[in-house]
Amino acid sequence: MSGTEMKRTPFFKILIANRGEIALRIMRTARRLGYGVVAVYSDADCDALHVREADSAVRIGEALPTQSYLRIDAIIAAAKASGATAVHPGYGFLAENEDFAQACRDAGLVFIGPSPEAIRAMGNKAGAKDIMRKAGVPVVPGYQGADRDDAVMLAEARKIGFPVMIKAVAGGGGRGMRLVEDAAAFPDALRNARSEAQGAFGDPTVILERAILDPRHIEIQVFGDRYGNAIHLGERDCSVQRRHQKLIEEAPSPKVTSELRARMGAVAVAAVKSIGYEGAGTLEFLLDERGEFYFMEMNTRLQVEHPVTEAITGLDLVELQLRIAAGEPLGLRQEDVRFSGHAIEVRLCSEDAHHDFMPQSGRMALWQMPDGIRVEHALQSGSEISPFYDSMIAKIISHGADRNEARGRLICGLEQAAAFGVTTNQGFLISCLRHPAFAKGEATTSFIGSHRDELLARRANDKAEAGLAALLLYVTNPHAPPWRSGRSLAATFPLTMRIDLGHGATDVDIVRNRDGSYLASLNGGEHRFEIEQLGSDTIRFRTDGIMESARFLRDDDRLHILHRGATIAARDLTLASPVSAAGSGGDGKVRAAMNGRVVAVLVTPGEQVTAGQPVMTLEAMKMEHVHTAGVAGTVSAIDVAEGEQVTTGRIVVEIAAA
């Protein structure tokens, strides 16, 4: 193709309309290709790494996404003010918003993504299913009619047959999605899905689908250019999920044969060619145990999990996006695409897996990611994890000659990651990767639900960890005598310490023996430690004849430890006064389980409630969390208002017990 035939849309500076790790990821490729980069930020992100790394940055609003990163007018104005001539939407917020793509076009800005028309056609789940159905592609049965009255939706759900899936028509990432088992649960699930979709995407519209139980979630990466060329880059298996959000992704899928890959890829390419699609896109399918696949939706954007495709193809997907947006032809034919080895990605999230994956926020006291493995993140020690945005704080990606090698490298990388100060799902991810079902490539979308107890089982060496925590709290106490190796003639007396590892207080007796070793006694058991070396953040010790080491960070009465790949957070309660367990609700007071925004108060003063009845919905990290009554009784006070921002432990509803 000669230069005169090409429809060039040159640009020189790119505004990235997103935040965090994806903003940094786009900057990296953009700068390599010679583009300037502009960041945008909310008040919550004014000190964020993506802001400091950009050539320039523009404030676009307050902390809440609806008041900042979802404001089309503010982002267009920021592009104009900064001199940017193109906008990259990242993979969230406005990436699948046709109005945003149109606003960029109207403002003379190059939108690095598909056209508004393509987003309208494929970005809407209902419209995309119609297009695919007409093309003869099997789709999941469901309802996406114009009449979405509550009674109509319930009637249609009955026709489809329970269980059904409620899904937001806009966006992705599991927001606005609910699996409903029966008609009784449908009204509340519908309300919650609509509310969550409105908060996440600014559109409360939902559709219904039959729930296909225990499938694999397979997606096909596609690229198209403005000259009618289109290719696929193989599949990704995204079956390991919690709350309908992906947690582990890999390429290729352990269950997709070369023949099935060719079939699914051909369907995906035909679909994007039929609408003249430009840029990166992903078609998502459910694959059942018989090998039949059903189209679910298309994401008209770059995906969070794109690095695994980059790893096995050797291609830079952001570079392809930028070149296509500038008017270059794709430059790749399907036969040019080659796959090498296996790649797996995990999403490291600030959440507590042991408490229903509850989002966590706060200050990351120590943040150190492993070397020798790809990590995408935007944090450093001292960074604040905000309650306003997604809980994913890093992606860790491994690549190996085969699946087992990639899995082993990823486990080793996770074991070396130090994330102290905010609870993460680090240990849970390691458990998933080590589980026999995952190791054999047998994980489906029901993997976490089916193996939840095993994946969340307390470690077998809990007592040893309590002993190690007590030892470190003892020897790092600023008032304790300095540690010295070797024997001592001094008399030794046991010190009783009360510590909490997150699941109840434990009393541990610590005594230093005259031979220089330490003995930790708890719950009838004893653990002997010989300290070989004690530094400011590492300890090397011998126990049970084995030499080991651990990293630690002392933060007032709290101690963070990285030992055997697990992060342990210990609190010294020795001198603390007894306190009630916040959030239990057993005293009639319902407390906020995390920092967040009140999106719905579900009861009124004087109302009679039963134990377990929903009383308030809190939104944190773009997910809604229903709080329930801890006791039966009468609502005596409501201490918050809808829209109010609350902190962890704040009393939100008070109930006088019956």
| Active site positions, annotated | 301
Query: Residue 281 CA to chain centroid, in angstroms?
Result: 20
Distances 194 to 167, 205, 453, 570 between C-alpha atoms, Å: 9, 6, 31, 39
- Give dist(CA 465, CA 559) in Å, integer: 12
- Residue closest to 212 by CA, chosen among 299, 290, 288: 288
Using CA atoms, how far residue 354 sits from 358, 444, 452, 453, 462, in Å, is 8, 21, 10, 10, 15
Least Cα distance to 62 among 48, 77, 43, 80 occurs for 43
Q: How far apart are CA 7 and CA 651, in angstroms?
A: 60
Q: Which amino acid is at 567?
A: T
- The string of DSSP letters for 147-197 reads ---HHHHHHHHHHH-SSEEEEESS--TTTTEEEE-SGGGHHHHHHHHHHHH
Residue showing tokens 């999990």: 305
Question: Strand 279-287 and strand 645-646: pairing?
Answer: unpaired
Alpha-carbon distance of 266 to 322, in angstroms, equals: 24
DSSP-assigned letter for residue 65 = G
62 SS3 class: coil
295: nearest Cα among 507, 129, 465: 129
Q: Is residue 205 helix, strand or coil?
A: coil
- Residue 335 DSSP label: G
| One-character DSSP codes across 577-632 | PP---TT--TTSEEE-SSSEEEEEE---TT-EE-TT-EEEEEEETTEEEEEE-SS-
CA distance 311 to 249: 12
- Give the tokens for residue 66: 């609806």
Please choose, from the candidates 170, 171, 213, 165, the residue with its C-alpha nearest in 3D space to the C-alpha of residue 189.
Answer: 165
CA 166 to centroid of chain Cα atoms:
21
Instruction: Give the residue among 297, 234, 231 at the shortest CA–CA distance from 270.
Output: 231
Q: Which helix (H) or strand (E) holds 77?
A: helix 72-82
CB contact burial 407-443 (16+ within 10 A = b; e otherwise): bebbbebbbbbbbbbbbbbbbbbbbbbebeebeeeeb
β pairing state of 206-210 and 245-251: unpaired
Identify the three-state secondary structure at position 497: strand
* Amino acid at the residue 290: R
